[in-house]
Amino acid sequence: MSGMRASKNMTFPAFQRAALRALAALTMLLATSVRSNFVFDDDPFQPVTQDETVSVGGVVTLTCSVKENDNSSLQWSNTAQQTLYFGEKRALRDNRIQLVKSTATELIITISEVQLSDDGEYTCSIFTMPVRTARATVTVLGVPGKPVITGFEDAVQEGGEVTLTCTSSGSKPPAKLHWFRDQEEIQGRPDVVESNPDEPTYTVTSELTLTVTKHDNNALIACAVDHPSIANGDKRTEQPLSVLFSPSVSIQPESDLPREGEKFFLQCLGNGNPEPTAFVWRRKDGELPPMAKVDDAFLRFESLNKSDNGVYECQADNGIGTGDVTHTLLVQDPTAMSTSSGVDHAVIGGVVAVIVFIMLCLLIVLGRYLIRHKGTYLTHEAKGSDDAPDADTAIINAEGGHSGVDDKKEYFI
């Protein structure tokens, strides 16, 4: 009895036996699947795939193909080994995943609006004996954000230093940052890369330190992102520099020929950042003339006089510094002509002289030609008239002429 009870205890229930058989089958399936990785490339049933790279938000296409098929179905599985498509049948309810093509030898699907979580290995299987598989790695690129430049809060005085910081977040793999001054690339400090919490992306930071001059005022400093997910120049931020510097000064006269008795002014021009707002006029050799009035950047003369001749100085102040310049005033006679007017009259006089000379030459040549080619003609009024006894005979002789009588010639000039 005890032996029978022992034998009875060793017998497994029917559902346990079924579970054991399923486990054994799964073990064999996994074993054959693993062994399929070692199938030679010339196996016509071996699936063929290729790795893909896609940016976040893009569309990736997964293609699996075999040379031959024994009526077995092709299947795509995701990184979690969830079946996406088994032949033409959708297995996972994800509207981002769509079937493109399903035949006995090819299975093509697409995944749209790709997310960072879609990164990883995808498996294509064909359920032959043994099961054959191939893997495709999908690399999802995190698109970097537009760079942000800080450090422009305040203008920098000439000769000072400014440190600019450029930051771009969301890249995968880490982006590279480049600095530019106008169109010329300049070197900043090495990039600093930090991982972003809760997502597989990175924040990249770069610094640039410049010693500025007045020539850097309004120069465009740019930070550009270099990353395989974007085209060059797509992610670029520009900021103009503002440099404070002392004014450079020049004096602009109203005309280049100040005449005695005329109104006249000198204008003081200052170029600085900020623009100069205070102007001081002086005369090098004494006080300003009584008829000269200071009008901010202008020195106005109501009526010029020879006594106004001298060297005048203008000093401009913009709060950062001062600049000064001098101008020599020489008052001319009222009848004096400007240099440009004198040049114009000289040109006109020269042209007239050339024309007169050409006309004289033509007259001389024409006169010499007429002298050398004197005209001749025969006069018939004297032919035979001297020897004619009467007027009628003289006319007849004149009309008929005599061969022995010399021709009379008349000259003309």
Q: What are the tokens at 151?
A: 């450090």
Please indicate whether residue 117 or residue 4 has the higher confidence score (pLDDT).
117
Which ranges in 323-390 belong to alpha helices (H)?
A: 339-372
Using an 8 Å Cβ cutoff, are 122 and 62 in contact?
Answer: yes
**Displacement of CA 394 from its chain's centroid (Å):** 106
Task: Match domain 148-241 to its CATH number in 3.40.1000.10, 3.40.47.10, 3.90.1150.10, 2.60.40.10.
Answer: 2.60.40.10
HSE, CB side, 13 Å, CA atoms: give it for residue 352.
Answer: 6
Q: How far apart are CA 290 and CA 301, in angstroms?
A: 9
Name, in order, each residue with C-beta under 8 angstroms of 318's C-beta and a sequence gap of 6 or more.
246, 247, 270, 272, 273, 274, 275, 276, 277, 278
Q: What is the pLDDT of residue 387?
A: 57
Domain with CATH 2.60.40.10 in the chain: 47-141, 148-241, 246-329
220-253 per-residue burial string, b: 16 or more CB within 10 A, e: under 16: ebbbbbebebbeeeebebebebbbbbbbebebee
HSE, CB side, 13 Å, CA atoms: give it for residue 139.
Answer: 10
Q: How far apart are CA 124 and CA 62, in angstroms?
A: 9
Element (H, E) at 110: strand 106-111
Residue 308 has pLDDT above 80, yes or no: yes
pTM: 0.63
Domain 246-329 has CATH 2.60.40.10: yes
Domain 47-141 has CATH 1.10.357.10: no
Residue 30 has pLDDT above 90, yes or no: no
Query: At 4, phi and psi to the nearest 5?
Result: -65, -40
Read off the pLDDT of residues 72-116 as tens digits, 9 standing for 90 and up: 999 999 999 999 999 999 999 899 999 999 999 999 999 999 999
Read off the pLDDT of residues 261-301 as tens digits, 9 standing for 90 and up: 999 999 999 999 999 999 999 999 889 998 899 999 999 99
Mean pLDDT of the chain: 83
Q: How far apart are CA 138 and CA 50, in angstroms?
A: 9
Q: What are the tokens at 11?
A: 């017998």
3-state secondary structure of 87: coil
Q: pLDDT confidence of 55, banded at 50, 70, 90?
A: very high
Average pLDDT over residues 350-357: 88
- Looking only at the bridges linking them, the beta strands covering 243-253 and 156-157 are parallel
